[in-house]
Amino acid sequence: MNYSSAFIPTLREVPADAVIASHRLMFRAGLLRKLANGLFTYLPLGLRAFRKVERIIREEMDAVGALEIKPTVVVPGELWKESGRWDSMGDSMLRVKNRLDNDFVVSPTAEEAFTATVRDELSSYRQLPLKLYQINTKFRDEIRPRYGVMRGREFIMKDAYSWHTDDKSLDETYQAMGRAYRRIFKRCGLSVIPVKADSGTMGGSGSEEFMVESEIGDNTLILCKKCGYAANVEKASCKDDFTPQPSVEAAKAAAANTPSIEKIDTPNVKTIEELCAFLKTAPQSFIKTLIYRAVNVELDLSSAPGCANLEQKKPSPDAPAVYPQVFFAVAIRGDLDVNEVKLASVLKASEVSLAADTDVTRLTNAPVGFAGPVGLASLPLIVDHTVTGMNDAVTGALAKDLHYKHAAYGRDFEGWAIAGLTSVDIRTVKAGDTCSQCGGELYTKMGNELGHIFKLGYKYTRAMNVTYLDENGKTQMPTMGCYGIGVDRTLASVIEEHHDEAGIIWPASVAPYHVIIVPIKYDGAVKEAADNLTGELTKAGIEVLLDDRNERPGVKFNDADLTGIPWRVVIGDKGLSQSPAQVEIKRRSEKDNRTIDLDRAASELADKISEELESYL
């Protein structure tokens, strides 16, 4: 490709709203332009790199036996109502109506479309396992799109889904997909951190995210310096710094020598910090009680305090019944924070949030700041496992300016049992906590998610009534897996990891071109040499950008560095006048250049590029 015929509108100035490297450089290097807030157009140079990422993903998906299909981007709303996510996805989902007043969704994710497609075709166990994928457009109406394509409204994702007769088959595909993801990101030149993760609104059990470290990351990663344990903070666990009681009976026994619970006056004292100062003790001695509002709760609450008369709804005939809104009390040690993602998972809720002050007062009959677990009979009480080791604690007494001291778990209160558990892990792990795997010290990094794999189980096949006949002719329901990669995010992350002050430094595997040839002046013998070298490299399968513009050498060199083509060849009269004729080559990632014989340039560059491409495999 001749530069003069290409469309590479480079910029010298940084766009005002570009605050991260990939956003700045994708605009400056002529890869991308903004059409509207959160909506972007890929220009030819950017699209070439984008297609390279797509190709790598396709090759690795094909290698694990996944088959590509092309569903529509606009999906019937009735499918989302079947799955129960028509309401739970919230305002981020763009809903539209056609001229017949039928509901449609501009797809933010593809579980419903894929599940409906398979439902219509699946009949026998002989068709399973089945693995399908797409690379397709998505739309999520982000409140604040930012960081260029790292968080846009419209984006491209690779979504793969699998259907299986049993958990063993699902796990085999889940593990194979995890290995494929590691290969994909390695081939793109990315250093990823696989972490244990929460499945969120996707549902299911097993879940792993693939993260890249980022100063503007949306996710906090919990990592171990010693053993390599890695988890998203939403999922992370740590070694307890207390002795948990294995049962309520054991807790009662441990509290045998604790003084009886006693009310104390605490005038104008509401926060943990104020209580510490007032009672001259540490936050670890307090039980903090918070009131949460949960939405679309799937738990059976018929035996839960205050829930006997709550109304249930079924999002669709085949979906499980849910409670649209439920309030819960949560007790946790005073120095810790509740992990709301863990809490939502425990409650099988689509979302949880702190209750409004007016609701707290109404439900506890006490001002905000004086809630406590003792005597709280109006709400189901969820007890974090840190509380089970507390047999002489301070906590709110459900009355203004009053607290209890000597409160003991098991003796004075206990949690409402969820699936037989009277306490659960809902604490947020933080830097400095102890690794649950090896006892090492945990630390944090910020990261951005590039890929996520899930074991969905029966969430969608049950809600959308997907069945098949087994070898005995009996009707069965398949279990599902889900595997996603953000293609735009992956491309942007390559730039985040590979750049310097001058511009992008593309890995050869995703570079829009492998070599840029820069003639000092594109005429005469220089033009002939540049054209011939371009032809030799192209014949060898090397992608070449020939800068034939009538520009000063400094402009060409700056643009070559900015656009980040892995190898640069400079051809001038001075080098060609030598015997044998010489050209200057430079690797974008290296500081120094060197001269080589012109007649060896094509073969040496082809070898170097082939070596680099093989290094990613």
pTM score of the predicted model: 0.84
- Give the domain range for residue 303: 248-407
Q: How confident is the model at residue 270 (pLDDT cuts 50, 70, 90)?
A: confident
Cis peptide before 76 (omega within 30 of 0): no
The mean per-residue pLDDT over the stretch 247-267 comes to 92
* The residue type at 67: L
- Amino acid in the structure at residue 316: S
Of 378, 407, 436, which residue constitutes the final position of a domain? 407
> Is 483 found in the same domain as 375?
no
Residue 214 located in a structural domain:
no
**Listed residues 495, 522, 552: the one ending a domain:** 495
Furthest-apart CA pair in the chain: how many Å?
Answer: 100
Report the CATH number that the domain containing residue 326 is assigned in CATH.
3.90.960.10
Buried b (16+ CB within 10 A) or exposed e, 365-395: ebbebbbbbbebeebbbbbbbbbbbbbebbb
Q: Which residue spans within 2-112 are E strands per DSSP?
A: 32-36, 39-42, 67-68, 74-76, 94-97, 103-106
Q: pLDDT tier at 597 (50, 70, 90 boundaries)?
A: very high
Residues 375, 609: Cα–Cα separation, whole Å = 72
pLDDT number for residue 272: 86
Look at residue 233 and tell me whether its pLDDT is greater than 80. Answer: yes
* Distance in Å from the first CA to the final CA of the chain: 27
Q: What is the rounded distance in angstroms from the CA atom of residue 69 to the CA atom of residue 136?
A: 10
pLDDT of residue 608: 95
In a domain, 328, yes or no: yes
Structure tokens at 134: 């797409």
Using pLDDT thresholds of 50, 70 and 90, give the confidence band for residue 16.
confident
485 and 521, same domain (yes or no)? no
Average pLDDT on 102-114 reads: 96
Kindly indicate the confidence band of residue 316, based on its pLDDT and cuts at 50, 70 and 90: low
| 360 and 258 fall within a common domain | yes
**Does the pLDDT value for residue 318 go beyond 80?**
no
Q: Is residue 563 part of a domain?
A: yes
pLDDT tens by residue, 533-587: 999 999 999 999 999 999 999 999 999 999 999 999 999 999 999 999 999 999 9
**Whether the predicted pLDDT of 315 surpasses 80:** no
Q: What is the pLDDT of residues 345-377, one digit of tens each?
A: 899 898 899 999 999 999 999 999 999 999 999
Q: Is 113 left (phi over 0), alpha (psi -120 to 50) or beta?
A: alpha
608 and 547 co-located in one domain: yes
**Minimal CA–CA distance to 112: which of 130, 89, 140, 135?**
89
What pLDDT, on the 0 to 100 scale, is given for residue 582? 97
Do 143 and 36 fall within a single domain?
Answer: yes
pLDDT of residue 201: 45
At residue 198, the pLDDT reads: 63
Question: Is 290 within 8 Å of 272 (Cβ atoms)?
Answer: no
Whether residue 171 lies inside any domain: the answer is yes
Strand-strand pairing, 567-571 and 515-519: parallel
- 540 and 468 within one domain: no
Cα 351 from Cα 343, distance rounded (Å): 9
pLDDT one-digit tens code per residue, 446-491 = 999 999 999 999 989 999 999 999 999 999 999 999 999 999 999 9
- Looking at the fold, whether 484 and 520 belong to one and the same domain comes out as no
**Whether 352 and 478 share a structural domain:** no
pLDDT (tens digit, 9 = 90+) per residue, 390-441? 999 999 999 999 999 999 999 999 999 887 788 999 999 999 999 999 999 9
Encoded tokens for 563:
């656009």
Rounded Cα gap, residues 527 and 228, in angstroms: 54
Burial (0-12, 13-18, 19+ Cβ within 10 Å), 88: middle
Residue 609: give its domain's CATH number. Answer: 3.40.50.800
* Percent over 90 (pLDDT), the chain: 80
519 occurs within a structural domain: yes
Q: Where are the beta strands (DSSP E) in 298-350?
A: 323-333
CATH number of the domain to which 28 belongs: 3.30.930.10
Question: In whole angstroms, what is the distance from residue 222 CA to residue 607 CA?
Answer: 41
Q: Are residues 522 and 477 in the same domain?
A: no
Question: Among 380, 407, 434, which residue terminates a domain?
Answer: 407
Domain-located, residue 89: no
Per-residue pLDDT tens for 144-192? 898 999 999 999 999 999 999 999 999 999 999 999 999 999 999 999 9
Residue 252 sits in the same domain as residue 398: yes
pLDDT of residue 85: 86
Cα dihedral: 560, 562, 566, 568 (round 10): 20
Flag whether 440 is in a domain: no
Q: Given this model, what pLDDT does residue 260 score?
A: 95
Following CA atoms 486, 487, 489, 495 in sequence, which dihedral angle do they give, to the nearest 10 degrees?
150
Quick one: pLDDT band at residue 271, thresholds 50, 70, 90?
Answer: confident
Angle between helices 487-497 and 44-63 (to 10 degrees): 110
In a domain, 551, yes or no: yes
Q: How many independent structural domains does the chain possess?
A: 3
Q: How far apart are CA 414 and CA 426, in angstroms?
A: 16
Residues 264, 503: Cα–Cα separation, whole Å? 65
CA dist 308 and 422 (Å) reads 19
Task: Give the separation between CA 33 and CA 46, rounded to whole angstroms.
Answer: 10
Q: Are 29 and 123 contained in the same domain?
A: yes
CA distance 35 to 43: 12
122 shares a domain with 201: yes
Residues 6+ apart with CB under 8 A from 492: 22, 23, 26, 147, 148, 149, 150
